Amino acid sequence: MKKLAIFASGTGTNTAKIIEHFKENKTSIVALVVSNKSSAGVLKIAEVNHIPTLILQKEIFFQGNGYVNELKSAGIDIIVLAGFLWQLPVSLIRAFPKKIINIHPALLPKFGGKGMYGNHVHEAVLASGEKESGISIHFVDEQYDRGQIIMQAKCSINKNDDVHSLANKIHQLEHRHFSPTIEVFSTL
């Protein structure tokens, strides 16, 4: 059974789905929820599920060893980024080679990189006149949002779509695909 650490900065709807998924599928367990924001909704989700949490201190995360020791001593095998807004320090990426995956709410390599998160992504996709959008689940390497893509899923964009309706379509894709993808990945 692989031990997962989920890193998240926000509401945590993806985290909630992943926790539920692995209650049924015992290939992995969510052993830790990590956040850079003590007020993040994701921490409440961890608490009600009796999952330990870790709040990151910016200086330690970026100048220290990226909390590698804490993660290794917790026996973490895989790091899952589910809406985590800080770029990972190289020390952390190198300590978990090909063991860190991220979900991005667009079809990379387009609409990725700095500043491309949350509704900013959907605004850019709609402004570009794209006829479809989707999600990308990818390995995390030292280039932001540039790691090898593991899977993508698409949704159509129609003329009535706005940022909210597109965000909703994307969230549905995330909630459907992230957990099974993590499961396949954790059995490798």
Least Å from the CB of residue 153 to ligand GRF: 12
Location of structure tokens 């800080």: 86
Q: How far apart are CA 78 and CA 96, in angstroms?
A: 8
Which range of residues in 6-14, 62-70, 72-80, 142-150 is near ligand GRF by CB under 6 A? 6-14
Q: 181: helix, coil or strand?
A: helix
Residue 120 known to be catalytic: no
Q: Which position among 4, 5, 6, 8 is part of the footprint of ligand GRF (CB under 6 A)? A: 8
Location of structure tokens 């491309």: 116
What per-residue string of b and e applies to 51-87 under the rule 16 or more CB within 10 Å gives b? bebbebeeeebeeeebbbebbeeeebbbbbbbbbeee
Q: How far apart are CA 84 and CA 76, in angstroms?
A: 17
Q: Which position among 11, 25, 87, 91 is part of the footprint of ligand GRF (CB under 6 A)? A: 11
Is 95 an interacting residue with respect to ligand GRF (CB under 6 A)? Answer: no
Is 33 an interacting residue with respect to ligand GRF (CB under 6 A)? Answer: no
133, amino acid identity: S
What are 16's two structure tokens? 């909630």
Is 174 an interacting residue with respect to ligand GRF (CB under 6 A)? Answer: yes
What are 3's two structure tokens? 């031990």
Is 13 an interacting residue with respect to ligand GRF (CB under 6 A)? Answer: yes
Is 79 an interacting residue with respect to ligand GRF (CB under 6 A)? Answer: no
- Please count the other Cβ atoms lying within 10 Å of the Cβ belonging to residue 176: 13
Site string for ligand GRF, 97-136 (x = CB under 6 A): ------xxx-------------------------------
Binding stretches for ligand GRF (CB under 6 A): 8, 10-15, 82-83, 103-105, 174
Residues serving a catalytic function are 104
